[in-house]
Amino acid sequence: MSFQGKPALLLMCLLTAAGCSAAPAPVTAPAGRPACSQTSSIDEAFQCARQDPNALRALLLAMPKGGDLHHHLTGAIYPEVLLQLASYQGLSVDVSPDASGSPKFAFKSGGATPGSGKPDMAAVTADCLACPASQSPETCTGNALIPACCLCSSGTLYDGAVNALSMRGVPWGTLQAHDHFFAIFGKLGPATNNRAALLAQLRQQASRENVLYLETMSSAPLPPADDPDLKAFKDLFAAGSSSAGATFCAQLMAEDFGTPDENGTKVIAAIRAVAAQVAKAMAQQIVDSSQLLGCSSSDDASAPPGCEVTVRHQIEMHRTAPPVVVCQEALLGFATSEADRQHIVGINIVAAEDAYVARINYSKHMNLIGNLGKIFSPAGRALHAGELIEGLVPPNDLRFHIHDAVWVARAQRIGHGVAVTYETGSGEILDTMAKEPVAVEINLVSNAQLLGIQGKEHPLPLYVERHVPVVLSTDDPGIMRTSLTEQYRLAALDYPHFRYADLRTFNRNSLEYSFLTGASIWEDPGTYARPVADCRASGGGLDVNRCTAWAKGQGDKAQVQARFEQRLRGFEERHARN
Ligand SMILES: [Zn+2]
């Protein structure tokens, strides 16, 4: 329930004896806390607000945020939204018991009550679609496949599904949390098929907390199995380990790879043909998400929420898959980014880094990524590395993952980097990351939930102290039930020595170290004291209006940066005027 504008004021006038002629009484700050309404700069406002975690949340929610560079598309959507989509699509849900005896709540295609046939924005924004009255109540009491609409017709099933598909109620920092989390992705299946609807939902979520850019990880959508290009590529692997494809992949995964031989040349030509189609499909997902949101142009101030949020893709490869499959995914990722670098800005390697298959093949994966980087024109490389702690894996696996991601796979950004101080030569790694630079994507809530690492145990302050560019990101905000605002809030609460200027640097880093194409508005990334000449005011600082005009003729990066600076200037000025 909400009252808006004048009616609410009128109601207050009627209910209070003082009437409306008197100015409202000032709000008194709690004892020992300065009045936050008296601040004269954004830093003062920040220092004041951080004494009250709730006031801090409000301030940081209102703060414009550049980008969220590390999140997984299917993990970023709240399961409540997936339930809606599943009910509208007429999907089934497997409620048979898992190993612990609880219902699995895994989505399946077909065999259910037909939905409305509108698995789009209507399904994302509407209530969960309950089962039709004509359906027998027994349909929802089975213990195998039941229609997804049953979850919308029973509070018990609905709550059970939300708990099974998210971290709600799971104790943080336990092995149970880790295992529960990674098992969720295998259950989402067809509920996540409508990528445009998911992207539209993400953009709306981002808009609510003033985020301007999303660099979203997802799997590449393959053409149909009978597509001639896909068949030609698959045929190169049909003879198993002796095939042209498998032989080339074995070469790519070795340290001493040179240049592609005849087999390799065939494989590369075949994957480029597939990638041309995949690139078109992924670019179209973005266009379709804009259409679902009702956008005409991102510059239109009256456009619906979410239209102002730029979204770009990273293609995932899955490190827990067999090596030859990881190789195929990597070939597709690099070739697709090469085909449309503007929309498919990079590649990433995902899934549990501590899993057995991922561990034993780690070096092969890094060789593969490093070698493909020499063959295809540059794709942004952001690699999960060091999402580990002592005890989770044998000691040797703590010693080299970040090192190899930086030195062998030539990552431009590292995801998590929690285990950096376990690595052999960690000081040299930090120095190299600062110098190259290689940014680190810090996911505070994720690390607390899955690894039990937070506060003083987290290496975030160390990265900052060693001048490694830091960005804050969400990882899986739907499953983890968090937000980008919460990452900034935790950074402010857990590390009292960070000032507003530190948070602003993280914020600017999130666009500067993004894989958006085109020039930057900054000459000094990481410091942000010197704008490029076309953005510079006569006094040397940033001329936001001039920069915005210049950026229009530039690529994506400058345009998003200029929009962000415009908003940030407004936010900071509002607080300076208090
Ligand atoms: Zn991640």
User: Tell me, what's the pLDDT at 30?
Assistant: 58
Mean pLDDT of the chain: 91
Strands of 22-170, DSSP E: 65-72, 92-94, 106-108, 145-147
Q: For the segment 316-326, what is each residue's pLDDT rounded down to a tens digit?
A: 999 999 999 99
pLDDT at 347 over 50: yes
pLDDT at 490 over 70: yes
Residues 288 and 196: beta-carbon distance below 8 Å: yes
Nearest-angstrom CA–CA distance, 534 and 334: 33
The one-character DSSP state at 194 is -
Nearest-angstrom CA–CA distance, 124 and 518: 33
The one-character DSSP state at 542 is B
CA 70 to ligand 1 centroid distance, Å: 6
Mean per-residue pLDDT for 529-546?
A: 95
Mean per-residue pLDDT for 336-357?
A: 98
User: Tell me, what's the pLDDT at 126?
Assistant: 75
CA 379 to ligand 1 centroid distance, Å: 18
pTM for this entry: 0.92
Mean per-residue pLDDT for 480-500?
A: 98
Kindly report which listed range (27-41, 291-305, 331-345, 378-392) carries the lowest average pLDDT score.
27-41
Q: For the segment 161-178, what is each residue's pLDDT rounded down to a tens digit?
A: 999 999 999 999 999 999
User: Tell me, what's the pLDDT at 40?
Assistant: 83
Higher pLDDT, 340 or 110: 340
Give the residue ranges of DSSP H helices in 72-142: 79-89, 121-125
Three-state DSSP class for 506?
helix
Mean per-residue pLDDT for 528-557?
A: 96
Give the residue ranges of DSSP H helices in 63-100: 79-89
CA 313 to ligand 1 centroid distance, Å: 14
Antiparallel, parallel or unpaired: β 92-94 and 145-147: antiparallel
pLDDT at 540 over 80: yes
CA 304 to ligand 1 centroid distance, Å: 29
Give one word for 2, left, alpha or beta, with left for phi > 0 and alpha for psi -120 to 50.
beta
The environment of the single-atom ion ligand 1, i.e. residues with CB closer than 5 A, is 475
User: Tell me, what's the pLDDT at 39?
Assistant: 79
Residues 369 and 380: beta-carbon distance below 8 Å: no
List the strands of the sheet with 92-94, edge to edge: 106-108, 92-94, 145-147
CA 542 to ligand 1 centroid distance, Å: 34
User: Tell me, what's the pLDDT at 297?
Assistant: 61
Q: Mean pLDDT: which of 21-30, 127-136, 181-190 is highest?
A: 181-190
Q: For the segment 224-240, what is each residue's pLDDT rounded down to a tens digit?
A: 999 999 999 999 999 99
CA 387 to ligand 1 centroid distance, Å: 9
CA 72 to ligand 1 centroid distance, Å: 6
Domains and CATH numbers, the chain: 79-174 (no CATH), 196-517 (3.20.20.140)
| Neighbouring C-beta atoms of residue 234, cutoff 10 Å | 16
Phi, psi of 289 (to 5 degrees): -65, -35
Mean per-residue pLDDT for 292-312?
A: 86
Buried b (16+ CB within 10 A) or exposed e, 426-458: beebbebbeeebbbbbbbbbbbbbbbbbbeeeb
Nearest-angstrom CA–CA distance, 454 and 489: 13
User: Tell me, what's the pLDDT at 28?
Assistant: 54
One-letter amino acid at 276 equals A
pLDDT at 33 over 90: no
The percent of residues in the chain predicted with pLDDT above 70, rounded, is 92
CA 367 to ligand 1 centroid distance, Å: 21
| Neighbouring C-beta atoms of residue 519, cutoff 10 Å | 14
CA 109 to ligand 1 centroid distance, Å: 27
| Neighbouring C-beta atoms of residue 8, cutoff 10 Å | 11
pLDDT at 399 over 70: yes
Nearest to 123 by CA among 152, 145, 150, 147: 152
CA 448 to ligand 1 centroid distance, Å: 13
Name beta bridge partners: 106. 94
- Side-chain half-sphere exposure of 438, counting CA atoms within 13 A: 26
Roughly what angle, to the nearest 10 degrees, separates helices 244-252 and 262-293?
80
Kindly report which listed range (27-41, 45-59, 407-421) carries the lowest average pLDDT score.
27-41
